[in-house]
Structure 1
Amino acid sequence: MKLNLLLLSLFTCLSLSAQFPQLSDQAEVSLITVGPGPSLVDCFGHSALRVKDPALNMDKAYNYGIFDTTEKNFYLRFAAGTAEYMVAAYDFSRFYNNYRGQNRWITEQVLNIDQAEKQGIFDFLENNILPQNKFYRYDQFFDNCATKLRDIPRSVLGDRLQFHGGHLEEEATLRDLVDENSFNHPWMDLGIDIGLGNLVDKVADVEDRMYLPDYVLSAYEHATISRNGQEVPAIKATNQLFESEYYEIHRETLSPTLLISVIALIVMILTVKDYLSKRRSRWLDFVLFLITGLVGLAVLLLWVATHHTTTVNNLNILWAFAPNLIVAFLMIKKEPKQWLMVYVRFLVILLIAMTFVWIGQLQNYNTAMIPLMIMLTFRYVYLWQKGLGGTRKRAF
C-alpha cells in the first residue's frame, strides 16, 4: 500500500514537472504581505505568493483572495459558509500597483529554498490555477489567503519547515486577534463576536495566528528549515517593496457598549416606573423578547444550519434565546399566561449561567454584553416577581 502511494506521488510530481515550465537557477519564490486598509474588508491585510524568474521573463503574483460578489447568491452562500474563493495568477506589477494605489505597505520575504523546492512550489501553484482546481471553500480562520502562505510551502517542505513561537509576547485567542484588527469597526466586531462560538476562545499558537497576514510575516521571520541536519533561516531576504505612511489610528465612533448602556438605563428606569405604578409596559417586553429572539434565531442557524467551522458551540444562546421570538407575541397580551413566570425564571437562570461561563472562560463575550446582561436580568426579575403576577389586570 505504501509503495503504491509512493509511486503515485512520484508519478504526480513527474507529471507536474513535465506539464509546467522548468525554473532556472535565477528563480525566486517569495511571500508577499500587504498592510491593512481603512475598510473592514481590508483591515486584516492581505497575502500572496510571488514567483520570479528573469530567465523565463516571468514575474507572477498568485492571489488566493479573489471572489466574485456578482456570483449568484454569493452573500447567501458566504453566510452559509459555502462561499468559494479562487486563486488567480497575473503579472506582479499589476498586483503591486493595485495595493500601492491604495497606499498600503508591501513587504516581500524571499524563501531560502533550493531549486527542487522552488520548482515544487511553482508546480503546486500552476496546478492550482487550472480551471478545475482554482476554487476553494473559504474559511476565515483556517483556509484563506494568509493560511495558503503557511500551507503551500509546507506541502513541499513537509516537517522540515518549522514555525517557532518564541517571539510571541502575549497569549491571545483567535477572538482576541479579530478584536485587535477591527478596533475601528466596533459594530461589526460586536456582530462577529455574537456569531462566533467558543472554538475561537482557545489560546492560539504561532500557526493558528497565521490566518492573519501580519502573523504570517512575523512567523516566517523566525521560521527555520531543516537542511542537512542543521536549522537554517526560512527567509534569505526581506524587501520593503513599498513603504506607506498610512497606519490605522483609533477613530472616534459610537461605541456599542455606550449605546447599549444608555438603552439599558432607559429600560431600567421604565422598569422602576412600572413597578411603582403597578403597570407593565407591554410594548417594551415585546421589543426586548423580539430582538433577543431574532438574534437567538440567527445564532442558532449559524450553529446548526451552516458550514462555518467556528459558529458552533456558541454560548450567546444563553442571552439570545430563540424561543423569545414566539414568547414576544404572548408578552404583548393584557393577560399573559401564568406559565410565562416560570419561563422568565428560566431566562434569569440562563443569564446566571452566562456569568459563570464568562468567568470560567468557557466563552468570552464582547464587553457590550455587560450592560445588556444587567438590563435583561433587571427586567426579567421584575417580570418574575411582579410584572406577570398580581398586576396582570392593570397591565397596559
Structure 2
Amino acid sequence: MPAPSQYLGRRLAAFCLFLLLGVLGCAPPAQAGIANAPGANLEVSLITYGPGDTYWERFGHDAIELRDTASGEAFTFNYGVFDFDEAGFLLHFARGSMHYLMDAAPSDIDQHYYMDVGRSVTRQRLDFTAAQAADLRDFLLWNLRPENVRYDYDYYANNCATRVRDALDKALGGTLKKQLEARPARMTYRQQTARLMSQQAWLMLILDLGLGPYADQPLNAWQESFLPMVLQEDIRSVSVASADGGAHPLVQDEQLVSANRLTPPPSEAPDLRLPLALAGLAFAVALIATHRFASTVYALLGTLYLVLAGVVGVALLILWTLTTHHSAWANANLLLFNPLACLLVASVWRSRRGAVDSRMANMLIALQLLAVLAAWLLHLLPGVVQQNQPWLLFAMPCWLALAWCMRRGAWLSGRTR
C-alpha cells in the first residue's frame, strides 16, 4: 500500500520514538512491547494480503507480524511503500531504479485497511525459537532505521515479498531458501504476470510485449516466491529442526483473518496465441480487402500499424539500452516491431495509388520479412527461448499483407505502363 511521504514520515518518527522509549525503559514493564521483549515472548507470523483491484495491487502483498504475548502489542513490518514525493521519482521509475521503503505499523491499523477494501488477510503463525524471534526483531528494527529503510526495488528479484522472505530466511539460518530452491516452480515470471494482470487485458498485453527472455527462464520455488500468495502456499510445506533432532512444520497454524470479497485472479495464465493470431489475421484481411476496395482506408490502416510498430520498437530499444529493467532486455519482439517501420508510411500511401516503391522501401520491407523469419528461427536455439509466439502469430500476417499490398501496387503500376 503506497504511503505519501509526510504520512510515512510521521509513522516512522512515531514508531522510532516508541522504540526508543521502550529501549530506555521509560515504559512500564507490562507495556514493554516488542522493542525489548524477550525472544520467548515474541510470536512471529507471516501476514499475506490477497490481490487488489488497482494494477499495482494485483500481485498481492505481505508483511511480518511480531506480537508480544505478554503485553499483547503487535506490529507488522512490510517493504511495500513508495514515495511519490521523492526527488526524481518518475525518472527513477522509467529507468528501472526505483526506491522502495520499509514501514511498520500497529497490526490492527495495517490489516483493517485491507479488510475494508475487500482483500483477503491470512495469518500464518511460524515456529521460531526464542533466539530466532529475537534475531528477527533486531534485524527488522535495524532495517527500520532512516539510513537503512530504503532499498532498490526490482519487480521480480527484490520486491516487498522477497524482502519479507529473505528476512524470515535470515532468522531461520537459511532453512527456507535451502528447501524452496530444491523445488521447481509452477510457472515462469511471464506466466505469473499474465495470470495476475489478466483482468486488465490492455496492461497484460503491454507487459507481455515488453518482457524479454529473462521472464521465461525456468524457476525454482524460491524465485517464484516473489509473489506473496506463492510464498504463503510454499511455506506450508517447509520444515524446521526441533530440539530432539527431528523436524516439524514451520507453520504452526493458519488463520483466515478476513475472506476475499474481490474477483480472484485465474489459477492459470491465459494462452494468448489464438486471440493474437486471430487479431493478426483479421487485420491482414482488412488490409488486403481495403487495398482493393477502399484505398484510403487501407492507407490509414497501414499507417496505424507502421506507426505503432515503430513506437513499440523504439520503446523496446530504450528499455534494453537505456534502463535497468533487465526483464525487458534482449527482447526478440524487436524483430517484429522495428523502429524503422515508420519509414514505410509514405510507401503505403504511394502504393494505394499504384506508385512504384523506392529502392529503400523495397529493402526495408525485405529486411522486415527476414527479421520475422529470424524471430521464428530463434525458437530452434537451445537454452532459454523467449515465449513470444503470440506476437509472432500476430505480426507475421500483418507484415505479409503489407508486403503483398505494396508489391501489388507496384505490379499493377507496371502493367498499366
The structure 1 segments of at least 4 consecutive aligned residues displaced by more than 6 Å after TM superposition are 165-168, 275-280
Is the 8 Å Cα contact of residues 30 and 108 (structure 1) preserved in structure 2? yes
Corresponding residue of 2:82: 67
Change beyond 3 A, Cα 1:52–1:167:
same
- TM-score normalised over the length of structure 2: 0.78
Q: 2:249 aligns with which of 226, 233, 251?
A: 233
> Which range moved further: 65-74 or 18-27?
18-27
Paired residue secondary structure (1:310): helix
Matched residue type, 2:119? R
Q: Give the 3-state SS of the residue equivalent to 1:126 in structure 2.
A: helix
Deviates more, 1:326-335 or 1:291-300: 326-335
Letter of the 1:234 partner, please give it: L
Give the 3-state SS of the residue equivalent to 1:320 in structure 2: coil
Match runs of 1:174-189 below 5 Å = 174-189=189-204
> 136-145 vs 354-363, which deviates more?
354-363
Give 1:284 deviation, angstroms. 4.1
Q: 299, 302, 312: which is aligned to 2:319?
A: 302
Deviates more, 1:97-106 or 1:319-328: 319-328
Partner of 2:146: 131
Identify the match of residue 323 of structure 1 among 336, 340, 343: 340
> Any idea what SS the aligned residue of 2:172 has?
helix
- 1: distance between equivalents of 2:295 and 2:346? 21
The residue number in structure 2 matching 1:223 is 238
2:401 corresponds to 1:378: yes
Contact 1:64 1:88 in 2 (8 A): yes
Counterpart residue number, 1:3 = none
Deviations 1:265-284 (A, max 9, x none): 35433335536999995544
User: What is the aligned-residue RMSD (CA, Å)?
Assistant: 3.3
Q: Is the 8 A contact 1:193 1:366 kept in 2?
A: no
Alignment of 1:1-396 (within 5 A): 21-24=35-38, 25-55=40-70, 58-161=73-176, 162-164=178-180, 171-226=186-241, 229-248=245-264, 261=278, 264-272=281-289, 274=291, 282-328=299-345, 332=349, 336-358=357-379, 362-365=385-388, 367=390, 370-383=393-406, 385-387=407-409, 391=413
Conserved? CA contact 2:82–2:100, under 8 Å: yes
Aligned equivalents of 1:120 and 1:112: distance in 2? 14
Note the C-alpha offset of 1:327: 4.4
Unaligned runs of 5+ in 1: 1-17
Deviations 1:127-161 (A, max 9, x none): 11111111111111111111112211222323333
Q: Which moved more, 1:174-183 or 1:264-273?
A: 264-273
**Contact 1:293–1:321 at 8 Å: present in 2 too?**
yes
Q: Percent identity?
A: 23
Change (3 A) 1:388 1:340: farther
Deviations along 1:283-325, one digit per CA (max 9) or x if unpaired, are 4443322210100000111111111121112111011111223
264-273 vs 100-109, which deviates more? 264-273
Higher helix fraction: Structure 1 or Structure 2? 2
Report the secondary structure of 2:122's partner residue: strand
1:42-70: CA deviation from partner (whole Å, max 9, x where unpaired): 22211111111133553111121111234
Shift of 1:393: 11
Cα contact 1:279–1:387 (8 A) shared by 2: no
CA–CA distance in structure 2, aligned partners of residues 327 and 270 of structure 1: 15
Number of paired residues? 371
CA distance in 2, matches of 1:79, 1:289: 25
CA–CA separation in structure 2 for the residues paired with 1:224 and 1:310: 32
Deviation at 1:215, TM superposition (A): 0.4
Counterpart of 1:207 in 2: which secondary structure?
A: helix
8 Å CA contact 1:358–1:365 kept in 2: the answer is no
| Cα deviation, residue 41, structure 1 | 2.0
**AA of the residue aligned to 2:320:** W
CA contact under 8 A between 1:51 and 1:122: conserved in structure 2?
Answer: yes
Please give the secondary structure, in 2, of the residue aligned with 1:364.
coil
Scaled by the length of structure 1, the TM-score of the pair is 0.82
Distance 1:219 1:306, change over 3 A: same
Give the partner amino acid of 2:36.
Answer: Q
